Structure 1
Amino acid sequence: MDKEVDVFYRELPKVELHAHLNGSVSFQTIEKLIRRKPQLNIEHNMTAIGKGQRRTLDECFQVFKVIHQLVDSEEDILMVATDVIKEFAADGVKYLELRSTPREETTTGLSKRKYIETVIQAIQQCKKEGVDIDVRFLVAIDRRNGSQVAMETVQLAEEFLVSSDGLVIGIDLSGDPTVGHGRDLIPALQRAKNSGLKLSLHLSEVLSQYDETNLLLDIPPDRIGHGTFLHPEMGGSENLVDKVVQKKIPLELCLTSNVKGQTVQCFDEHHFKYWYKMGHPVVICTDDKGVFATDLSQEYKIAATTFGLDREAIWKLSKQAIDYIFAPDSVKQQLKQRWRELQPEFK
């Protein structure tokens, strides 16, 4: 980034609502993990997609499998989560919702419950150290694991909704979008919603998912991840768009992720333009800042330069994101106050 322009985006207070924990692991943290586990023979190019590189969606999921090999104990998760939180804070992010699928590893004795507890521990540790960021956690359902595991995940999340002092606030539905059908997960998602957990669902990440998207929109989700193929210009339909607009469901949009993962051809063709021009709620996010070698400042800059947004428009985008967080209204008010204090003068 250009130095002077850089400063504006870096200092811009930001909200990150779509960040997968394991996909957000930086080059520096991967370096530490590789040193811990030399026997795995993992190299950096196996864990990130560099500048100018692209991968198919399937290849992107292979990258996650490699990272999971490196992150398989409580000690690893604590380090990774702490590093990720501090890096987001250093990039000017004031509010962060991390998401991750709880995993169990028999070799290290890691349980799904311990996984969530360790992420919570990292959040609390950063707060204790005075890191300037408010962090919450979404427990992720990996659609590849089927309906029974989805229900078990929701039950676990319900427990932490009560016991985590407001840190666990929702459910994320993610995983390989070409595997399984969303209809099988509706009972688990409906239960989550009824119990007070917020829902962020990856929807229409790939073409030809009209039926699934239609069913999941009826729940309805509180936010949509990606929504790449919802609208007609991308092969979606007016009916899906109408549902999203009527229910005012915000979209979490991840520009670099979609281009590098080849679900969108180039930044100019990104669906951000369609929804932003319509005035529909959108939030710029990173998805996987480590895997896609980006950060939130960079994503805002890409949106600005690609779609001709001035600094005032970017500021507004950043501030409006506060309305779509899953934390309670009291937190929204505190964040809006911070934005007022930090707002620059636009000439």
Structure 2
Amino acid sequence: MDDAVFYRELPKVELHAHLNGSVSVQTMEKLISQKQHLNIDHSRTAVGKGQSRTLDECFEVFRVIHKLVDTDEDILMVTTDVIKEFAADGVKYLELRSTPREEKATGLTKRSYVETVIKAIHQCKNEGVDIDVRFLVAIDRRNGMEVALETVKLAEEFMLSSGGLVVGIDLSGDPTVGHGKNFLPALERARNSGLKLALHLSEVPSQQEESALLLNLPPDRIGHGTFLHPEMGGSQSLLDKVVQNNIPLELCLTSNVKGQTVPCYSQHHFKYWYQLGHPSVICTDDKGVFCTDLSQEYQLAASTFGLSREAVWTLSQRAIDCCFAEESVKQQLRQTWKSLRPRLFQ
């Protein structure tokens, strides 16, 4: 079995996928052709092969995508397309995350935004798409403290009404805006109501104090964590907190290299955490914006860090432990892995 086939057939878990950042070129084409009056150029919606962008420029790409995705219909199409693409790439369990948005002009509300994502998940299930999907409601740092609290209340409501599809809260957005301490009340409330916490942490070097505060919660998973460990300018005390609490990291290789927070693949912090034996999950972050998919990310990790197919299989299987779904779902996933293994290692 050649590499491309092996990595695509490898059953995978995706735990760090921003909905709008995961929109593929094909779906973008549909949106752009439907909204020609916006005059949006393709090159502004993705970072192609061999290209990189500063973190600021990456957030600019999201602003362009948000202009294209501004109705309930758009969100339904985008979400179903994204789910089907992940399924086609061998992903068996997916946690999507997105910030509920409202657009006065189109009648989109934050509530209808979440309802539409849930509707898309049900629709894919009913069509027999072979993937289990959950949703994390995202707090965007730029929107401040009050909106964060509203977002948590919305997530609590859907946690109870969505039949277990809304499982957690994501804290994300431009890491240079605002301070994590402002979000502690909202995050503590979320945790107390039973929502899981996936927090973007230490994405940029200047966040030592904030990371220490947020690690005291502690989060259930960490997004990126690029500058947590001492070799990347972090501190021993931050490292100790992560290790003592056994907090899994969601690691996104291409995203970090193209977004220029990591100089190159061989210097990616995946190596550090993997050698430490710490729970580390390979993810895409924004497969549309960064022109990648999860198969490619696994293959990159393997070729860069010399992982055997056996090691890659173990890495993919261990990601199941880090899911926010209930234990029965994890058990089913372990069964799926077990049943697919002989085909990959014949």
TM-score class, shorter-chain normalisation, is: over 0.9
Match of 1:184 in 2: 182
Is 1:268 matched up with 2:255?
no
Taking structure 2 as the reference length, what is the TM-score of the superposition?
A: 0.99
Deviation of the 1:158 alpha carbon:
0.2
> Where does structure 1 lack aligned partners over 5 or more consecutive residues?
none
Aligned residue for 2:193?
A: 195
Tell me, yes or no, if structure 1 residue 90 matches structure 2 residue 88: yes
Structure-2 residue corresponding to 1:29: 27
**Alignment-derived partner of residue 128 in structure 2:** 130
Instruction: Output the CA distance in 1 between the equivalents of 2:307 and 2:9.
Output: 17
Q: What is the Cα deviation at residue 43 of structure 1?
A: 1.4
Amino acid at match of 2:322: Y
Partner residue, 1:167: 165
Matched, 1:44 2:42: yes
Question: Counterpart amino acid of 2:62?
Answer: F
CA deviation after TM superposition for structure 1 residue 4, in Å: 1.9
Structure-2 separation of matches of 1:199 and 1:292: 25
The separation in 2 between residues aligned to 1:108 and 1:307, in whole angstroms, is 48
Partner of residue 116, structure 1: 114
C-alpha distance in 2 between matches for 1:40 and 1:255: 32
1:284 paired to 2:304: no
In structure 2, C-alpha distance between the alignment counterparts of 1:153 and 1:95, rounded to whole Å? 24
Q: Where does residue 73 of structure 1 map in the other structure?
A: 71
Opposite residue 25 of structure 1, the aligned amino acid is V
What CA deviation, in whole Å up to 9, does each residue of 1:185-221 have, x standing for no partner? 0000000000000000000000021110000000010
Q: Deviations over 1:10-32 (max 9, x none)?
A: 00000000000000000000000
Structure 1 residue 346: Cα displacement: 4.4
> Which residue number in structure 1 is paired with residue 230 of structure 2?
232
In 1: Cα distance, 2:3 partner to 2:282 partner = 18
**1:161: how far off?**
0.4
Output the CA distance in 2 between the equivalents of 1:60 and 1:218: 29
User: Partner of 2:296 in structure 1?
Assistant: 298
Deviation at 1:80, TM superposition (A): 0.1
Which AA in structure 2 matches 1:322? Answer: I
1:315 aligns to what SS in structure 2? helix
Q: Secondary structure at the match of 1:343?
A: helix
Stretches (4+) displaced over 2 A: 344-347
Provide structure 2 residue ranges, at least 5 long, that are not aligned to the other structure: none
Q: How far is 1:47 from its partner?
A: 0.1
SS at match of 2:250: strand
Residue number among 312, 315, 321 corresponding to 2:313 in the alignment = 315
Secondary structure, in 3 states, of the residue corresponding to 1:303?
helix
Q: Which residue of 2 aligns with 1:151?
A: 149
Alpha-carbon distance in 2 for matches of 1:184, 1:211: 13
> What's the CA shift for 1:44?
1.0
Per-residue deviation, 1:162: 0.2
- Secondary structure at the residue paired with 2:170? strand
Question: Residues 141-193 of structure 1: CA distance to partner in whole angstroms, max 9, x if unpaired?
Answer: 00110000000000000000000000000000000000000000000000000
Q: Write out aligned runs for 1:7-26 (5 A).
A: 7-26=5-24
Among all aligned residue pairs of Structure 1 and Structure 2, give the percentage whose two residues are the same amino acid.
76
Structure 1 counterpart of 2:21, which letter? G
What's the Cα RMSD here?
0.8
CA distance in 2, matches of 1:342, 1:38: 44
- Distance, in Å, in 2 between the alignment partners of 1:303 and 1:187 is 37
CA positional deviation for 1:315: 0.2
CA distance in 2, matches of 1:184, 1:38: 40
| Aligned mates of 2:7, 2:278 — CA distance in 1 | 23
- Give the CA deviation at 1:238: 0.7
Distance 2:205 2:3 in 1: 36
Instruction: Tell me how far apart the structure 1 counterparts of residues 333 and 57 of structure 2 sit (CA, whole Å).
Output: 38
SS at match of 2:92: strand
Match of 2:239 among 238, 241, 265: 241
Q: CA offsets, 1:63-119, max 9 Å, x none?
A: 000000000000000000000000000000000000000000001000000000000
Question: What is the alpha-carbon distance in structure 2 between the residues aligned to residue 323 and residue 4 of structure 1?
Answer: 28
Letter aligned with residue 338 of structure 1: T
Q: Scaled by the length of structure 1, what TM-score is found?
A: 0.99
Map Cα deviations across residues 248-268 of structure 1 (whole Å, 9 max, x no partner): 000000000000000000000
Cα distance between partner residues in 1 of 2:305 and 2:194: 37
